[in-house]
Structures are given as structure tokens and as C-alpha cells.
Amino acid sequence: MNLFDTIRNTLVPIHKEGYVFVAIFFVVSLILGWIAEPLFWIGLVVTLWCAYFFRDPERVVPQDDDLVLSPADGRVSSVQMVVPPAELNLGTEPMLRISVFMNVFDCHINRSPVRGQVTEIQYRAGQFINAELDKASEDNERNSMVIETRHGRIGVVQIAGLVARRIICWVKPTEPVNAGERFGLIRFGSRLDVLLPPGAQPRVSVGQRTYGGETVIAEFGSTKGPTISRRS
């Protein structure tokens, strides 16, 4: 492997959604540099952060329909039983909800946690409070998706955060999705909720780091109970 191949394999590609933002940040940096040279370097650092924010790395996706994968890079902020949002039409019985919070340094590409067919997508306007707060699931702007799977209907909710101002979803109702497939992103800093029907056992704990499309957050068909973790 030559030096060019090493550099190419090390650098993470930028998603096309980020090109315009990187260009804008760089142009602003040039303008600031014309005013005062130190401002150019500050702007350049922000431009590099923008490119880093929109990175889109490849992932090695487990091929097992009994596994539920993390929909995003981030930190597990909640694992609990809750009544699903009314717009998902998933009933009024509590479902297992696993929430993944993304800060502004996490990769914000969202990936489908399971394989199946999208049956519903519902957008709801709302507030922009801290996405780590539990009430963000009800109060914040969000985009909700239902996926029909062999284990039942699964909800995936994109929730805007404190500084997020745009939720993007690329899939539409009736479209099939594969586990780990990219389906959207949120700018900048946000959270994803995955709502699971009976039979799902959590495989992550609050505070755990996850990687979209790779980390197993829940499992169907297992006789084992929830995973117990401890810090060490």
C-alpha cells in the first residue's frame, strides 16, 4: 500500500449534505482573514470542525434480524419503558425505548436499526430544549418513522436538540430499509429514540457509547434478560 492509499483510507468521506456548509464556513474564514489574520485561523478551525461533523464513515453492519442496532453515534441517555408518541400509532401500551444522544462532535448520520419496510413517517413541530432531557421526546421538534419487521412494528424518532435546526429524512413510506442503512441526519446535536415491541431485551446501559450501524442495542428471541453493565 502506497502513501496515497494510506491517506485515502485514513480520511473519512464527507456526506454531500455537508459540502455547502463547509464551503460557506471557508468563505467566511477568508472574509474574516481579510479583516484580521487571526480571525482566519479561528474560522479555519471552525471549518474543519464542520467537515468533521458531516463525516460519513463506513460501518461493518451485523447481518442478523434478531439484533437491533444503534441508529447513531453517541451515548445512551435512556433505557426505559414508555408509552410511544401518539403520531406513531403504536398503541398505548408501554414499549422499550432506548435513546441515543449525539453531541456536536458525534457523527450525525442516522442509520436504520433494523431491516424492514417503512410504513409511516410523521413530522411534528416543537421546541428546541436540551435533547438529553426526558421531556424532549414529547416537546421537541421531531420526525418519527415506523418500520414493519418480522418482530413487529418498531418506532424510530429523530429529535432536534438545543442547537439543532434541521431534521433530514431520506426515506419514504412503503420503502424497504436494511439494518445499518443511512436514512437521515440532524443538524447540529440531537437525539434518536428507538421504540421496541415486546420480546426485545436491551443490550446497552445508560452512559454507554454507541456507533451507528454497528453497536447492538437490543436483541429479540433471547432467553437472557437485560444486559447488566458496570464501570471499571
Specify the 3-state DSSP secondary structure of 85.
Answer: coil
CA 137 to CA 155: how far, in whole Å?
A: 13
CA 19 to CA 223: how far, in whole Å?
A: 47
Task: Name the catalytic one among 70, 190, 205, 232.
Answer: 190
Query: What's the alpha-carbon Rg for the chain, to the nearest Å?
Result: 19
107 Ramachandran zone, left/alpha/beta (phi>0; psi -120 to 50): beta
Cell numbers placing 183 = 436514512
User: Are the C-beta atoms of residues 194 and 183 closer than 8 Å to each other?
Assistant: no
- Residue for cell digits 502513501? 3
Length of the chain: 232
User: Are the C-beta atoms of residues 200 and 114 closer than 8 Å to each other?
Assistant: no
If one counts every other C-beta atom within 10 angstroms of the C-beta of residue 169, the result is 18
CA 189 to CA 129: how far, in whole Å?
A: 11
- Residue for cell digits 472574509? 31
User: Are the C-beta atoms of residues 73 and 210 closer than 8 Å to each other?
Assistant: yes
| Catalytic residue flag (residue 190) | yes
Catalytically active residues are 190
